[in-house]
Amino acid sequence: MAFLGFTNLYTMRINLSVAIVAMTENRTVLHEDGSVEYEQYFDWSSSLQGHLLSSFFYGYLITQVPGGYLSDKLGGNYVLGVGIGLTAILTLFMPLAAHGGIGWLIGLRVLQGMCEGVAFPCMHTVWSKWAPPLERSRMVMCSFAGVFVGTILAMMVSGILAQAISWESIFYGFGAIGCVWCVAWFLIVKQSPEQDRFITSSEKDYILKSIGRAEGDTRKIKHPWKAILTSKAVIATTVSNFAENWSFYFLLTQLPTFLKEAMHFEVQTTGFVAALPYAAMGISLSIAGYLADWFQVKCILTTTQVRRNFNCLAFVVQTIFMLLGVIILEPIPTISCITIAVAMGSFAWCGYAVNHLDLSPKSAGVLMGISNSAGTIAGICSPIVTGYITTEGTDEEWKLVFYIAALVYLVGLLVYWFWASGELQPWSIEMQEMNASAKDYENQN
């Protein structure tokens, strides 16, 4: 259900990027008198389209930390379900907003971003109560694989729907599927093992013992904000999130343009080729998650070593292949290098993206919110920087963009290598002890 949820989430995030082509393209209109003219559904300038596509991330940034905080207070499964459910409902209103004017559409995209912003922090809160330590990497990577499946589906299916039916059908189709998922999520997924009436006693006991929770533990969570914000381990995950998402969003938004300008691909083929790296990463996520857990189960590496080695190895390989691809600058070798670089991101995710659950399971949602806020800022800045650099679309300009991405990877690598930790943090242990003491005091009085 988590995998399907993230699949739905990203189809509803990406679909506008494809739909906007059909919404603004010149189409042939044949009149009854035999005359032919060309017209657009919406006459939006390229700059206005850019503001529309980026508006999502302003809302997305706002709810990262609040999403993690609310998931602790109300339950991660509830906040996540509401977030995706509202996103689906708003998606159904996208055609109406578009006809109402660009301002309404931008406002709706900001609201969609706010609703989706809770997803990653809330999912970490869910995993903090459901995922045994030796299965965390596999569970988290399995759910995150939906990100890439959703991206690919949105790129491929949206174009087919627009051509076969209409651009409105893109939003109606994905919005309806999102609503169906939301109903199923609330029926199936519970906040914790104790609340699931279908779970076996042995499985419930195993999960609770492995994550160190007693059955019926309902203590309120208090976050040591100063310790969290000054923790080197938290800073390491935050910097790594920024570094990985700098290139991720740069390629997600600019790869088709790069393929057209630097690789001289035809427009019809850029969408298919641009989806290849994300298909590769979707496949590699399951491999990386299995290997990360396997090294811990076999006691070959500690949790800290797994997080550090997987994350930094990924950044090294990504840096090398990003540079190789742009230095060679030939279609097949360059695309192959970019595909390898993107696919290695799955190993980085086994580092920084899972790391929050190691540092403090009780604050994992808030930690993910802080970390993903940095990733969202990278998602906003990276395409803007790329746009300013590639004004002429020359090979030299594109090379500079890739050099900057490689430099960002190297900064993330150094910070994570020296500051990362896979151990439960002292401030998290102290927090648990204070919560326990408070609970005991309440029981005595």
pLDDT classification of 270: cutoffs 50, 70, 90: low
Distance CA 406, CA 413 (A): 10
- Higher-confidence residue of 240 and 167: namely 240
Tokens 């594109």 correspond to what residue?
398
Confidence (pLDDT) at 35: 61
Q: What is the pLDDT of residues 143-174, one digit of tens each?
A: 888 888 888 888 778 878 887 888 888 999 99
Q: What is the pLDDT of residue 437?
A: 46
b/e code 316-342 from CB counts within 10 Å (16+ = b)? ebbbbbbbbbbeeeeeeebbbbbbbbb
* Average pLDDT for the chain: 85
* For range 335-356, the mean pLDDT: 92
Kindly tell me the sign of the dihedral angle through the C-alpha atoms of 383, 386, 391, 394.
negative
CA pair distance 27, 39, nearest whole angstrom: 6
Query: Among the listed ranges 14-18, 58-62, 236-240, 360-364, which one has the minimum average pLDDT value?
Result: 14-18
pLDDT of the residue at 184:
95
Nearest CA to 7 out of 134, 147, 116 is that of: 147
**Quick one: average pLDDT of 398-410?**
93
Give CA–CA dist 224/323, Å, rounded.
Answer: 41
User: For the chain, give me the number of helices (H) and strands (E)?
Assistant: 20, 2
SS3 22: helix
Q: For the range 315-321, what are the long-range contacts, defined as Cβ-Cβ under 8 Å and sequence gap of 24 or more? A: 315/240, 315/243, 315/244, 315/348, 315/409, 315/410, 315/412, 315/413, 315/416, 316/413, 317/341, 317/344, 318/247, 318/344, 318/345, 318/348, 318/409, 319/406, 319/409, 319/410, 319/413
**φ/ψ (deg, to 5) at 171:** -75, -40
pLDDT score of 400: 93
What's the CA gap between 247 and 297, in Å, rounded?
32
Asked if 341 contacts 321 with a C-beta cutoff of 8 angstroms, the reply is yes
The pLDDT of residue 212 is above 90? no
First to last CA, the chain: 42
Q: What pLDDT, on a 0 to 100 scale, did the predictor assign at position 72?
A: 81
Residue 438 scores a pLDDT above 50: no
Distance CA 32, CA 82 (A): 49
Output the pTM of the full model.
0.79
